[in-house]
Structure 1
Amino acid sequence: MTSTPLPASIDDTMALLDGEGYVGDRALATVLLLALKLKRPLFLEGEAGVGKTEIAKVLSQALGRDLIRLQCYEGLDISTAVYEWNYAAQMVEIRVSEATGDTDRDDLSRSVFGERFLIRRPVLQALQPSVKGAPVLLIDELDRADEAFEAFLLEVLADNQVTIPELGTIRAEEPPIVIITTNRTREIHDALKRRCLYHWVDYPDAERELEIVRRKVPGAAERLMAELVAFVQMLRTDEDLFKQPGVAETLDWATALTELNEIALDPDMVSDTLGVLLKYQDDIDRVRGSRARQMIDEIRRDMERAGQETV
């Protein structure tokens, strides 16, 4: 895969996203263009399932760059995220040196702590030069990691470098394209945010979500897509749910109902498949049955009125 030139304008960025099937808005295209031009990390915040991670994947595909993903979790440390030494190979090197009588301590230390014994983890991999150009480094769900790891990232984000005590400082020839995502389960420190451009990724409006479903589930019936999107939009605005469904759940539900050969929302089928859309039993109980039927009737009345007004 050969790399593609970076977009030169907001319209180019919109076209780049659109070409990979990502239905984004102009605000996202603007901040994405600025992040590329200014070589600044992009900090994406929003609810789970709104498409934050997908932005990094689409950018990698569209630009022909490698995607290096660091999935964050509690207890993530430098040895997993940045680098570690190949201790087994180092021990073999030490044993060989002892067997051959080459036991000069300084020479041995330089040898076993050389780059051939260095295991590069995602962050360090992202700082390495590539013929395709700077890779896309996705630091996914940073809010799941500990604050100590946040503090370490400051050097990487500010100076595009990592300091390894035994080797010194490794600096990127070209800064990686850094995308950081968080589901806002906890606040990220201001010191890290200041080094990034910020964008809130919200749930899409009905028109944009319908276009997303059309592109991602092309086999779905048009009526089903329209009613399904209206149903999800109503859930997000009218229902007091513990966890609102994201776009990912909308697509899963559209795919499931299409596999079941549904061409429109059926109240019984909706109740039977709510586990695809909603992930908490209390939310499913709130919507299942009479409430689902009531919502579908309301959606169809609204569609009929809209059709009459159009005529």
Structure 2
Amino acid sequence: MSRVISAPSAPAEKRIAFRKGLASGKIQRLPGAFSPLVAMQVQQLGFEGVYVSGAVLSADLGLPDIGLTTLTEVAGRGQQIARVIDLPTLIDADTGFGEPMSAARTVTVLEDAGIAGAHFEDQVNPKRCGHLDGKAVVPTGEMVQRIRAAVSARRDPNFVICARTDARALEGLDAAIDRAKAYIDAGADMIFTEALADEAEFEKFRACVAVPLLANMTEFGKSELLSAQTLENLGYNVVIYPVTTLRIAMQAVENGLRTIAETGTQESLLDTMQHRARLYELLQYENYNEFDTGIFNFTVAES
């Protein structure tokens, strides 16, 4: 079925697809999307899902990733992105935007926004980027309450609740594994361990934790960049590339604006641009034309 206005698949169908993907044995590749248009490109190129990064949303709003965004802003962007694609959307829910009760409300709002799953982290509130120094984590028991609250608020059992731990950098790998096990006992469906150093640490974590695992392949951070195939061979279920598309786009924007500032014209940049025809193809202009013609096909009789 062609997409017009929004994607044909209902949120419940996307959540089922995400659950099936996690159980498939094939790694689910989720590039970050900072806009609905980028999400549409992700789908067209054959990826399994889309990720909405809190760091990217903060940056797009001109803010650092230090817990300044709100649930309303995050859910709104997530809904815009999820609406236009048939792929499942996984979103960064930070610390749940407050106390455990806030984490519970976050789940209901994200379900209503059409999201397939969300991850909640064990940093103190407000948080900071997981690859920065100086972050702090809450006691394990406090994060357990956060996860239990999120799970208790879930209405669609296929909505995936992922627990992220930032303890590796602060307490060591073994402590992060212990925390992950406690979060699983609290009801987490999937575990995301931030800032693992190298392949050996990813492998050890997989050996110790039984539920689906998410790997974060962000650039310029503390983790070795491993291929999707390597992660799949290690037994990981999901890989996210949270900031990649934003970094690519912003470097291109900066280079282009410098050229215009220096030369007074964009003519030399034309070969680096997406053509108007390609943009129209991605937006499926033809489908809108067919839809419009099929509805507005009446004539008004003269009185």
How high is the TM-score relative to the length of structure 1?
0.33
Structure with a larger share of its residues in helix: 1
How high is the TM-score relative to the length of structure 2?
0.33
**Which entry has the higher C-alpha Rg, 1 or 2?**
1
